[in-house]
Amino acid sequence: MSFLRWKNLKIGLKYNFALFTTILLVIFAAAYVTMSLYQIRDAIDEIQTVSSRAVQLTQMSAIFKSKELVILDYISLPRERLVNEYKALQEEFNALQESLRANIHTRDGFDMFSIIEKNNETVDDAFHNEIIPKSEEEAIMAIVKVSGLRDPTELLFERIKDEVDEEMELVIHAASQDVQNAIVSLIISIISALTLGTVIVFLISRNISRNLYKVVNVLNQISDGNLNVETIRFDGKDEVAQLSGSINKTLLELKGIIRGIKEAADKVESESTEMKRVAVEGNSGIGHISDTMTQMSAGAEEQASSASDIAGSISALSGLIETANQNQDDLQNSSEDILKVVGNGTRQMEDSVDKMQQIHDVFQDTVQKVRIFDERLDKISDLIQIINTIAKQTNLLALNAAIEAARAGEAGKGFAVVSDEIRKLSEQVAKSVREITDMVTRIQAESKFIADSLENGYENVREGTANIQVTGEIFNRIQSEVYSMVDKVNHVSAGLEEISDNVQKVNTAVENVAAISEENSAGIEETAASISRQNELMNTIADNAGVLSLSAERLKQMTGRFQV
């Protein structure tokens, strides 16, 4: 059922669906990559935090050693400057101590840091309470106590730094994994979006082109006169399916129209031939009457006999005229039927031209949508360039981190490893962006090929429309010939009516001749005039019958190019 609903969609909706699907997938990919980049940024911040803890531990260890050196200098030469220097070192150590205490999260690390704090307090207490105010011997004993705390405290610093380094390695590994996942997800999402959009557009375009080629082929055969072509069968209710249904309906009605025109033309030709024969026979009868009237004028003694002959001839002529009238009525009815059939055919051809114009417009709209799809691909290329810019900024951030790590010295080695990994990952992102750019370029080339194919199909539809219009012009000429034929039939009908009236007049004149012999001369003159007029009308009927026969022949020739 879903497949049938898809086939019932309009062509424009199908292309909009393909475009919407592609854009939706690209937006999803961009959103996912953006989230991944935020995660990477958080990981870099965490790396910086861990690295700063390592630097602070190194600084605290160095300060602890510096405090011992100040104590030794003070014992050698007590001076107020050394006391102030010690206090400055003590304040700096306490500040680092407060900062680090909040960032130690393990139980062992917290215990070791507490011991370091206790040892530092012991050293401070020894300096202020035992070395400064006491004697030299007591100060020496205090310095021995302070020196005994140096190695255990340094060992504790090293153990805490090892824990920090392990934590940094875990953070670096997690950040590297996030970058790799972001790159893979970006590549897969963009490739999937572009591939899916291209496949959908290609399938839609191929289906439309294939169906239109069938439609154009059928229209070309119809324009060549082959009405026995197989009807088009498409599933669905889109524009192409509607057009094929209209063409099938037009084809069936066109077959009936051409068949009816051929039959009517045969009948017209047969009846016009019969009418011509009747006119010739009537003309012969009129000649016989004329001869009889000449004999009547030669001698009054033969008047009665001639009147009898004239009456017989008139009776025969009346029968011929009656036959001609019947043939003329049949001919007029056939002409009217042909006119109706041709009118229906002309309307069907005009409807077919309208349908072809509609599919012509649909194709033009489809080509425009494919061009819009190309523009969307250009926007995707812009998005890829933005991602490339982000990768470059990440690379620059890694470079800055490497510089900061170099400044930190030994404590920044782990951070230098992190910055190098980030730099490598950013280079991988840049490489992947270039590959995706190449793929988008190829897809744009394929999209252009699809657009060119649609434009070729558009040209085929335009040619099919022209062929339909040529066929419509042929029907217009057929309609003109039929109108001319009906006009000639009406002239023949009027001539027959006038002949019938003249025959009645001749019959009256003959009766007058037989009844009133003294008016014989005047009756003969009137009869001769009527017969002369009748002879002219019979000649006109014969000529019109010949022209009507030629019109029927031309009508047969024009419809003969159609195979039904």
Measure the CA angle with vertex 57, ends 53 and 61; round to 5°.
170
Q: Among all chains, which residue has been given the structure tokens 């199909």?
A: 457
What's the pLDDT score for residue 480?
82
Cα distance between residue 161 and residue 109, in whole Å = 9
Query: 226 - beta bridge partners?
Result: 563
Closest CA to 391 of 433, 363, 420, 352: 433
Contacts of residue 281, Cβ cutoff 8 Å, sequence gap at least 6: 320
Number of H helices, E strands in the chain: 9, 0
The pLDDT of 153-182, averaged and rounded, is 87
Comparison of pLDDT for 309 and 267, the residue scoring more = 267
What's the pLDDT score for residue 286?
60
Q: Count the Cβ atoms, other than its own, within 10 Å of residue 396.
A: 12
Closest CA to 189 of 42, 23, 378: 23
pLDDT category of residue 119 using cuts at 50, 70 and 90: very high
Comparison of pLDDT for 37 and 518, the residue scoring more = 37
Most confident of 50-59, 322-331, 444-453: 50-59
pLDDT category of residue 519 using cuts at 50, 70 and 90: low
Would you say residue 516 has pLDDT above 50?
Answer: no
The pLDDT of 414-441, averaged and rounded, is 74
Cα distance between residue 18 and residue 286, in whole Å = 85
Closest CA to 502 of 286, 273, 271: 286
The pLDDT of 114-140, averaged and rounded, is 88
Phi-psi region of 225 (alpha: psi -120 to 50; beta: other; left: phi over 0): left
| Percentage above 70 pLDDT, the chain | 72
**Mapped to the 3 state alphabet, what secondary structure does 407-450 carry?**
HHHHHHHHHHHHHHHHHHHHHHHHHHHHHHHHHHHHHHHHHHHH
What's the pLDDT score for residue 538?
66
Contacts of residue 138, Cβ cutoff 8 Å, sequence gap at least 6: 130, 131
| Tokens representing residue 262 in the block | 């051929």
What's the pLDDT score for residue 153?
94
Contacts of residue 280, Cβ cutoff 8 Å, sequence gap at least 6: 542
Asked if residues 423 and 401 have their Cβ atoms less than 8 Å apart, the reply is no
Would you say residue 288 has pLDDT above 50?
Answer: yes
Comparison of pLDDT for 454 and 93, the residue scoring more = 93
The pLDDT of 236-254, averaged and rounded, is 76
Asked if residues 151 and 115 have their Cβ atoms less than 8 Å apart, the reply is no
| Tokens representing residue 249 in the block | 């309906």
What's the pLDDT score for residue 89?
96
Asked if residues 416 and 405 have their Cβ atoms less than 8 Å apart, the reply is yes
Would you say residue 293 has pLDDT above 80?
Answer: no
| Tokens representing residue 7 in the block | 């086939």
pLDDT tens, position by position, 449-499: 767 876 776 687 677 777 767 767 776 786 787 677 668 767 756 766 775
What's the pLDDT score for residue 159?
93
Comparison of pLDDT for 167 and 360, the residue scoring more = 167
- The count of residues in the chain is 564
Asked if residues 10 and 239 have their Cβ atoms less than 8 Å apart, the reply is yes
Contacts of residue 187, Cβ cutoff 8 Å, sequence gap at least 6: 432, 435, 436
Mean confidence (pLDDT) of the chain: 76
Would you say residue 309 has pLDDT above 80?
Answer: no
The pLDDT of 67-90, averaged and rounded, is 91
DSSP track, 219-272: HHHHHTTBTTPPPP---S-SHHHHHHHHHHHHHHHHHHHHHHHHHHHHHHHHHH
Q: Considering the entire predicted model, what is its pTM?
A: 0.47
pLDDT category of residue 70 using cuts at 50, 70 and 90: very high
Comparison of pLDDT for 205 and 288, the residue scoring more = 205
Three-state secondary-structure class, residue 75: helix
